[in-house]
C-alpha cells in the first residue's frame, strides 16, 4: 500500500540487461555517479535467457527509465530501436549495436551506443594517448567491436587494421568503412609493429587469446584489452612478454561508457576518475 504522506521522490529504475550479468560492475558505478550528483535512482542487474523484447517492455512498464544492454543482446537492441516508432543515435545506427536504451515519456525507445566514446575517452583522457596519427590494430569482429570502429576512425589514426579468428567477419566489417579500415589475417599481423593493439575479442573471458604474430608488438606498443579481470588478462600478459611498453584492461572504458550513458539519462556528466580508482581497488570480475 502506498503511504500517502511519503513525499520522497520515487527512485527511477535503471538496470543492465544481458547474460551473464552476475558480475557486472555497472550497478556500483551508477550508484557512485548517483551519489556524486545527488540523483535518486535504482540500478539492478537483469539476467535473461531470451525473450529480449518482452523483457525490455516489462521493465519499461515497471517504472523503468533506461537500460544498459550487454552481451549477447546489443544487436537485438539495435533491431528494436531501428523499428518505426523508436529512435537510434547516429553512432548506434552506424554500429548496428546498442548498449544504452532510454525510455521516452511518449513510450518511444531511444537507442545509443556509448562503447566507442568510452574507449576513446579512456585512451585519450585517462591513459593520455593521442590517437591521431597512430597505427592501430584491432582484434575481433563481434558486437563489442562494432561500436568502436567509427569513434576510433574519428580520431584520425594513420592506419587502422582489423583482424579476427573468422577472417570473413573482419573483412565484412572493414568493407563498411571503405579504404579507411584494412582487413589483415592473424598471420599478417606481424608485418608491422603497431602503436596501439586493441583486443576486442571475448577470448580472454575463456582464459584464451587470439593467435597473433608477436611481431605486431614492440617497445612502442601500448596493448589494450577491452575485457577486465582481477589479474592481467592472457592478452595483456602476452603483450608484456613480447615487449609492449604498457598494458591496460577495459575497466576505464567500462566506467567511461557508463558515464556517457548516465549523461544520456540524466543530462549530467559525472566525474569518472574517482570511480575508476574506487572500482579498480576492489574489482575482481570481467564483463560489462
Ligand atoms: P562480443 O559482443 O563480446 O563481441 P561476439 O559478437 O560473440 O561477442 O564476438 C566475439 C568475438 O571474440 C569474435 O570476434 C570472436 O571471433 P570469431 O568471430 O572467430 O568467433 C572472438 N573470439 C571469441 N573467442 C575467441 C578465441 N578463443 N580466440 C580468438 N577469438 C575469439
List the grid coordinates of 153. 576512425
**Which atom of ligand 1 lies closest to the CA of 206?**
27
- The interaxial angle of helices 26-37 and 251-266, nearest 10 deg, is 50
CB atoms within 10 A of CB 185: 13
Q: Is 50 exceeded by the pLDDT of residue 284?
A: no
Q: Which of 234, 232, 269, 272 is nearest to 252 (CA)?
A: 272
> Dihedrals φ, ψ of 15, to 5°?
-165, 165
Catalytic residue status for 74: yes
**Which atom of ligand 1 lies closest to the CA of 210?**
29
What confidence category does residue 3 fall into, taking pLDDT thresholds of 50, 70 and 90? low
Q: What is the per-residue pLDDT for 231?
A: 87
Q: CB under 6 Å to ligand 1: residues?
A: 71, 140-144, 164-166, 169, 201-203, 206, 208, 210
Which tens digit of pLDDT belongs to each residue from 19-48? 989 989 999 999 999 999 999 999 999 999
Q: Return the percentage of the chain with pLDDT > 70, whole number.
A: 94
Question: Which residue has its alpha carbon closest to ligand 1 atom 6?
Answer: 142
**Which atom of ligand 1 lies closest to the CA of 201?**
12
- The rounded Å distance from CA 205 to ligand 1 centre is 10
- The rounded Å distance from CA 144 to ligand 1 centre is 9
Name the 3-class secondary structure at 278: helix
What confidence category does residue 235 fall into, taking pLDDT thresholds of 50, 70 and 90? very high
> Dihedrals φ, ψ of 46, to 5°?
-125, 115
Interval 93-110 mean pLDDT: 95
- Tell me the domains of the chain and their CATH numbers: 12-114+255-283 (3.40.50.10860), 116-251 (3.40.50.720)
Q: How far is CA 50 from the centre of its chain?
A: 21
Distance separating alpha carbons of residues 167 and 76, to the nearest angstrom:
23
- Rounded to 5°, angle at Cα 133 from 132 and 138: 85
- The rounded Å distance from CA 140 to ligand 1 centre is 6
Distance separating alpha carbons of residues 271 and 181, to the nearest angstrom:
33
Distance separating alpha carbons of residues 197 and 140, to the nearest angstrom:
11
Interval 271-285 mean pLDDT: 78
Q: Return the percentage of the chain with pLDDT > 90, whole number.
A: 82
DSSP H helices in the chain: 26-37, 52-61, 74-81, 90-95, 115-121, 143-153, 167-175, 234-241, 251-266, 273-282
Which residue among the candidates 8, 74, 169, 180 is catalytic per the annotation? 74
Question: 99, 148, 165: which to mutate for ligand 1, most atoms within 8 A of CB?
Answer: 165
- pTM of the predicted protein model: 0.92
Q: What is the per-residue pLDDT for 285?
A: 37
Which tens digit of pLDDT belongs to each residue from 185-218? 999 999 999 999 999 998 987 889 999 999 999 9
Q: Is 90 exceeded by the pLDDT of residue 184?
A: yes
List the grid coordinates of 106. 511518449
- The rounded Å distance from CA 207 to ligand 1 centre is 13
What confidence category does residue 144 fall into, taking pLDDT thresholds of 50, 70 and 90? confident
Distance separating alpha carbons of residues 244 and 220, to the nearest angstrom:
7
- Our separate counts of H helices and E strands in the chain read 10, 12
Amino acid at each position: 500500500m502506498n503511504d500517502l504522506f511519503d513525499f520522497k521522490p520515487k527512485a527511477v529504475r535503471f538496470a543492465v540487461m544481458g547474460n551473464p550479468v552476475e558480475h557486472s560492475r555497472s550497478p556500483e558505478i551508477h550508484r557512485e555517479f548517483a551519489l556524486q550528483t545527488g540523483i535518486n535512482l535504482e540500478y539492478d542487474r537483469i539476467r535473461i535467457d531470451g525473450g529480449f523484447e518482452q523483457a525490455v517492455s516489462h521493465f519499461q512498464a515497471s517504472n523503468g527509465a533506461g537500460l544498459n544492454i550487454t552481451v549477447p543482446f546489443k544487436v537485438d537492441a539495435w533491431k528494436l530501436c531501428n523499428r518505426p516508432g523508436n529512435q537510434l543515435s547516429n553512432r548506434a545506427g552506424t554500429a548496428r549495436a546498442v548498449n544504452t536504451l532510454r525510455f521516452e515519456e511518449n513510450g518511444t525507445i531511444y537507442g545509443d551506443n556509448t562503447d566507442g566514446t568510452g574507449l576513446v575517452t579512456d585512451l585519450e583522457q585517462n591513459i593520455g594517448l593521442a590517437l591521431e596519427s597512430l597505427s592501430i590494430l584491432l582484434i575481433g569482429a563481434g558486437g563489442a567491436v562494432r561500436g568502436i570502429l567509427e569513434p576510433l576512425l574519428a580520431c584520425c589514426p594513420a592506419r587502422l587494421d582489423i583482424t579476427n579468428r573468422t577472417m570473413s567477419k573482419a573483412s565484412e566489417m572493414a568493407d563498411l568503412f571503405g579504404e579507411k579500415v584494412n582487413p589483415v589475417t592473424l598471420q599478417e599481423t606481424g608485418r608491422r609493429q603497431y602503436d596501439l593493439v586493441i583486443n576486442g575479442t571475448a577470448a580472454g573471458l575463456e582464459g584464451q587469446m587470439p593467435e597473433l604474430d608477436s611481431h605486431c608488438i614492440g617497445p612502442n606498443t601500448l596493448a589494450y584489452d577491452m575485457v577486465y579481470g582481477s589479474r592481467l588478462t592472457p592478452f595483456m600478459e602476452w603483450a608484456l612478454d613480447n615487449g609492449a611498453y604498457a598494458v591496460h584492461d577495459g575497466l576505464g572504458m567500462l566506467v567511461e561508457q557508463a558515464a556517457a550513458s548516465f549523461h544520456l539519462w540524466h543530462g549530467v556528466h559525472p566525474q569518472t576518475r574517482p570511480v575508476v580508482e574506487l572500482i579498480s581497488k576492489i574489482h575482481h570480475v570481467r564483463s560489462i
